[in-house]
Amino acid sequence: MKRLTVITIIALLFAVANLAGKDKRNRTGLTPYTIPLPAFVGDYFDKMPVDEENPLTEEGIALGRRLFYDKRLSAGNTLSCGSCHQQSHAFADNRPFSLGVHDSVGIINTMPLFNLGWARSFFWDGRAPSLREQVTEPLINRLEMAGTWADVLDKLQQDKDYPRLFGAVFGPGKINSTMVAKALTQFELTLVSFNTRFDQYYFDGQADALTPQEERGLDIFFGFGNCNHCHSDVLLTDNYFRNNGLDLTPKPGLYNTTGKESDRGRVKVPSLRNIALTAPYMHDGRFQTLEEVLDFYSSGIHQKSPNIDEHVVPLGKGLFLTAEQKADLIAFLNTLTDSSFIRNPAFSDPNPPLK
């Protein structure tokens, strides 16, 4: 009888605990969200890391999307994140240097935003070790959105909708910078781009997805061009920092973050996905076209540049591509465009604002 009583009590305790857990999940009212990814991403590459402190929900993503396009995050309410990260350009800018508040000019080219969940650090010089830090730095950068957290948070708190939306996602209390960063991060993590003709050909095995010219360009890319040594894997970037020999005296790059002489001149390798949409090119936007980029890699490499990358050294002064080879390679690079990504309404400016 005593044993039966003990077992009964334990069972009741487990039942109560389970009901409490279910009640807690229901009270949140949040809808978990899983980013849709093609099977080949998991087959050929690592799964996107999960931030247990900031789980994706439909409500959190919708809030982050609204913030991404809200100009009140800037001084004078003139710029939003989407002002410089434009969907039509794969969330990059079409200027060498973006214009900030009061038309201040930036000092480095705006990087595109997609497939960010796999990155280990952010910006050309790697100064942000997490996406949560990357999404908020422009808000207070004097050359960009030039705001202050006190001003931004006051404007959000005074809005008729934001306190309710933030409360629904993060719980009661005043809006703070951590909440803003988490919401923006949730939205930006959903900006994934893996639907190109290259993907159909290379990963899905659709032999007719590329033309003969594009196939010749692919052979150069993965062959004597050695492009895939740095623009590698499913992401078409290794997310490392390298000096590709642009200048004899390169700008500091990663050195600004680490202080190591061995990092001077090294900058982050950008993904070549959507490359046809993200001109101008290089960290300083010096090349307006892909033709100019290939001219550099064909005959303009500076081998005496300090800390030049080991994969660039074997190229000598360049690949010395013929006109036909350049045309073939550009044709292939155009197959890396994800048209569905730049047209996806889930990534666009919510107008009217999301509820």
What distances in angstroms separate CA 259 from CA 69, 245, 334, one per listed residue?
A: 35, 20, 37
Closest Cα to residue 105, out of 282, 293, 284? 284
Is the CATH number 3.40.50.1370 carried by domain 197-337?
A: no
Least-confidence region, from 24-33, 35-44, 247-256: 24-33
Average pLDDT taken over every residue of the chain: 92
The full set of domain ranges for the chain reads 46-193+341-347, 197-337
- Tokens linked to 35: 């980013």
- Tokens linked to 169: 């996602």
CB count, 10 Å around CB of 158? 10
Contact 310, 242 (CB under 8 A): no
- Residue pLDDT, tens place only, 71-126: 999 999 999 999 999 999 999 999 999 999 989 999 999 999 999 999 999 999 99
- Residue pLDDT, tens place only, 139-174: 999 999 999 999 999 999 999 999 999 999 999 999
What distances in angstroms separate CA 255 from CA 200, 245, 252, 262, one per listed residue?
A: 39, 16, 5, 8
- Residue pLDDT, tens place only, 312-347: 999 999 999 999 999 999 999 999 999 999 999 999
Strands 241-242 and 267-268: antiparallel
In this predicted structure, the answer to whether residue 20 has a pLDDT above a threshold of 90 is no
SS3 annotation, 124-145:
CCCCECCHHHHHHHHHHCCCCC
Distance in angstroms (rounded) separating the CA atoms of residues 316 and 302: 8
Q: Do the domains at 46-193+341-347 and 197-337 have one common CATH topology? A: yes
Distance in angstroms (rounded) separating the CA atoms of residues 161 and 141: 26
Residue 52, SS3 per DSSP: coil
Helix H or strand E encompassing 118 = none
Fold classification of 46-193+341-347 (topology level): Cytochrome Bc1 Complex; Chain D, domain 2 (1.10.760)
| Residue 315 vs residue 12, higher pLDDT | 315
In this predicted structure, the answer to whether residue 13 has a pLDDT above a threshold of 80 is no
Q: Per-residue confidence at 28, pLDDT binned at 50, 70, 90?
A: low
Q: Per-residue confidence at 352, pLDDT binned at 50, 70, 90?
A: low
Q: Per-residue confidence at 27, pLDDT binned at 50, 70, 90?
A: very low
Distance in angstroms (rounded) separating the CA atoms of residues 16 and 256: 55
